[in-house]
Amino acid sequence: MPKYHFEIVDGFRLEDPVGLDCSDDTQAKDVAKNIAHQIAVDIAGDRDRKVVVIDDNGDEVYKTKVKP
């Protein structure tokens, strides 16, 4: 199963050194959306934050905004 890394970007990049096994890009996108939603619930503020999905090859495969 491929490993994906879910990084948080808000002016700085918080790297995900461990990653998570996902069956494919679609599942990784769903995980990223859930992470973005949880960040929006847990952290108040108006910073421009994104969750960026990086695949095993180091390529960015998806990006989603954290929306309050």
Q: What is the pLDDT along the chain (68 residues), one digit of tens a residue?
A: 999 999 999 889 999 999 999 999 999 999 999 999 999 888 867 778 999 999 999 999 999 999 87
Phi, psi of 10 (to 5 degrees): -150, 50
Please return the burial class of 8, using the count of CB atoms within 10 Å of its CB with bins 0-12, 13-18 and 19+.
middle
pTM (predicted TM-score): 0.89
Residue 26: the pLDDT is: 96
Report the pLDDT value the prediction gives residue 67, as an integer from 0 to 100.
85
55 neighbors 63 (Cβ within 8 angstroms) = no
Give the pLDDT of residue 44.
66
Q: Which parts of the chain are beta strand (E)?
A: 3-9, 13-14, 20-21, 50-54, 60-65
